[in-house]
Amino acid sequence: MGLPAAKIKETSHIGTESAEKLLNLSKILNSEHSADKILQTIMDSAIDLLGAERGFLILKDGDKFTIPVGRNLDAEDITKAKHKVSFTIAKQVIASEKPMLTECALEAEGLKLAESVQEMKLSSVISVPLLIKGKIFGAIYLDHRHKRGLFKEEDIKILEILRDQAAIALTNAELLKQLEEKNSELIKLTKELEIHNSVLSGQLESQSEEMSFLKQNLEFKYDYSRIIGKSVAIRKIFSLMDKIVANDEPVIIQGESGTGKELIAKSIHFNGPRRRKPFVSENCAALAPSLIESELFGYVKGAFTGAESDKPGLFKSANGGTLFLDEIGDLTPDLQSKLLRVFQEKQVRPVGGKETIPVDIRIITATNKNLKQMVEAKEFREDLFYRLNVLAIELPPLRARSGDIPLLVESFLEKIAKERGELPKTIDKKVLERLCHYNWPGNIRELENEIRKAAAIATTKIEEKDLSPAILQGGGAIKLSKGFDYQGGSLESIMNQIEKGILSDALKKSNGNKAEAARMLQITRATLYDKLKKHDIG
């Protein structure tokens, strides 16, 4: 599958060296029949020709995106590629069906406020749409995080030539057919779920409700990939967020400390219509009461000793975007009153100022306290509570979604390894078992702290001796029976073995009473039946 004659002629104005490399690529592709290797070769050539640091082939699959190829400048695969590419840029290219080239994404209007651009500190970026038979199927995306102004206008033509080769490879590999059949697969899966639901209809109502939820939420509207978890509890949060993201009403996020309330707030903002505007956050409990007012509303020069110049408050800094106020229940009654006035009038008056400043922001608040009880106890203003509590999200504690712990552990180990410039530590299956059965009063924050400590102590593998005494001495856990046969394998395989052993042990301890087993495991009966079927346990 070499370069067509027309494309070879186009290389005449893009430089002799580049043209020779393209012709050499044509010879290589003619002798290769593996679609995967062809796509890898094309991406490696693109990185080489344009001097890029990384390259990705991004395919559009309905409202979602997949990355079949991600390569670096050493011609190696990029692991977890979907977390290392700016979908903001890719989505713009796909939506416009036009190439994009930027000298520095961190400074480019329309890009610099994107969460992915900020986190990856992207500099040079070039991307062209992947068009097949006149239809958009994705994009080819290259970037360099450290060199600005790397890509030139003529590079677009080179990338388009390579893009056409990728399109041929995709067609020959029938990947397009797979994409087009995705919808019918989902329909088939829905019918299977309906059949399964009808089989369970004679059981408790909670079972049919759970099946209905799973059936209706095969896909979500927005990208929640930064929130780690696949449990029913977290999927219910995603489903609720789908309804909240595009709405501009205030949101209150309630949950225990360490459950990830700010991460939820960021996901709402960066998926919503205000995503190109600022996201500003503040922990009300972390500020002295005497400082909160000036932090929120700002102050004018001379307002108090030390106020040597005007300072914009958080409301003004967040104008047009989102203001996230954590631990809202810690505000004093006086500040509650002033905050209510701002929400009602949509104006702020800086400390010491006479003029009001109009603000247009979305308010997201969070608390680990029971605000309803505080209202009843006259500790929190009732009118402010109803102003904030328009849309509410109740985050589950980690102990209610223990099935997500292996995924969180894997994510933390990779994050720590990246920070330290080393390979991720592995983890003993007994350690995972203990982590999954600990109560985690500090939730995800406590889990990350535990993994960081254990990873610092361990050499290459985290073992039980590396865990904190509180976890080693944790009581009330369902332990695997002595006859459990651990086979080893990947993290997913290990977790499946552990889960099957725990389910079997719970059934034995409950004398086969599934309702009692579900209670012991702190899961619904519907979830228990689902897991028993998954592991073929009678």
For residue range 189-213, list pLDDT tens digits in order: 665 555 445 444 434 444 444 444 4
**Pairing state of beta strands 311-312 and 298-299?**
antiparallel
Alpha-carbon distance of 445 to 528, in angstroms, equals 28
Q: Coil, strand, or helix at residue 366?
A: strand
Enumerate long-range contacts of 303-306, CB under 8 Å, 24 or more apart.
Answer: 303/350, 303/351, 303/352, 303/353, 304/351, 304/352
Classify burial at 425, counting beta carbons within 10 Å of its beta carbon; exposed 0-12, middle 13-18, buried 19 or more: buried
Residue 232's identity, in one-letter code, is: V
Q: Could you tell me the pLDDT band of residue 249, with boundaries at 50, 70 and 90?
A: very high
pLDDT tens digits, one per residue of 140-168: 999 998 898 999 998 898 888 888 877 77
Considering the four listed CATH numbers 3.30.750.24, 1.10.8.60, 3.40.50.1970, 3.10.20.30, the one that applies to the domain covering 401-534 is 1.10.8.60
Q: Is the dihedral of CA 28, 30, 33, 39 positive or negative?
A: positive
pLDDT of the residue at 321: 94
pLDDT tens digits, one per residue of 452-489: 999 999 989 999 999 998 888 764 344 455 445 555 55
Alpha-carbon distance of 76 to 70, in angstroms, equals 8
Instruction: Enter the pTM of the model.
Output: 0.53
pLDDT of 188 over the 80 cut = no
pLDDT of the residue at 322: 94
**Distant-in-sequence, close-in-space partners of 64: CB < 8 Å, separation ≥ 6:** 219
Q: What is the mean pLDDT of residues 297-324?
A: 85
**Distant-in-sequence, close-in-space partners of 10: CB < 8 Å, separation ≥ 6:** 157, 161
More confident residue, 288 or 386: 386
Q: Is the dihedral of CA 167, 170, 171, 176 positive or negative?
A: negative
pLDDT of the residue at 186: 61
Instruction: Give the architecture (CATH level 2) of 249-394.
Output: 3-Layer(aba) Sandwich (3.40)
Q: Locate 230 and state its tokens.
A: 């696949």
Beta bridge partners of 381: none
Contact 2, 30 (CB under 8 A): yes
More confident residue, 33 or 358: 358
Residue 328's identity, in one-letter code, is: I
Q: What is the mean pLDDT of residues 389-396?
A: 94
Q: Locate 382 and state its tokens.
A: 């009732």
Quick one: three-class SS letters along 87-116?
Answer: HHHHHHHHHHCCCEEECCCCCCCCCCCCHH
Mean pLDDT of all residues belonging to the chain: 81
> Which residue reads 């593996």 in tokens?
34
495-523 per-residue burial string, b: 16 or more CB within 10 A, e: under 16: bebbbbbbbbbbbeebeeeeeebbebbeb
pLDDT of the residue at 454: 94
Q: Could you write out the DSSP letters of every residue in 290-349?
A: HHHHHHHHEE-TTSSTT--S-EE-HHHHTTTSEEEEE-GGGS-HHHHHHHHHHHHH-EE-
Contact 208, 201 (CB under 8 A): yes
Alpha-carbon distance of 42 to 424, in angstroms, equals 30
Nearest to 508 by CA among 486, 527, 485, 483: 483
pLDDT above 70 covers a percentage of the chain that reads: 81
Q: Residue 386 phi/psi, 5° resolution?
A: -70, -25
Beta bridge partners of 311: 299
pLDDT above 90 covers a percentage of the chain that reads: 34
pLDDT of the residue at 277: 92
Q: Could you tell me the pLDDT band of residue 390, with boundaries at 50, 70 and 90?
A: very high
Q: Locate 339 and state its tokens.
A: 């905050």
Alpha-carbon distance of 521 to 509, in angstroms, equals 11
Contact 392, 254 (CB under 8 A): yes
pLDDT of the residue at 218: 46
pLDDT of the residue at 210: 47
The Cα angle at residue 405 between residues 402 and 407, in degrees rounded to 5: 135
Q: What is the mean pLDDT of residues 252-276?
A: 93
pLDDT of 416 over the 90 cut = yes
Residue 47's identity, in one-letter code, is: I
Q: Is the dihedral of CA 465, 471, 473, 474 positive or negative?
A: negative
Q: Could you tell me the pLDDT band of residue 128, with boundaries at 50, 70 and 90?
A: very high
Nearest to 403 by CA among 229, 227, 255: 229
- CATH number for the region 5-173 comes to 3.30.450.40
pLDDT of 176 over the 60 cut = no
Residue 305's identity, in one-letter code, is: T
Q: Locate 272 and state its tokens.
A: 């919503």
pLDDT tens digits, one per residue of 12-33: 445 667 777 777 776 776 666 6
Q: Coil, strand, or helix at residue 178?
A: helix
Q: Locate 208 and state its tokens.
A: 């049919």
Domain locations along the chain: 5-173, 178-216, 249-394, 401-534
**Pairing state of beta strands 311-312 and 322-326?**
unpaired
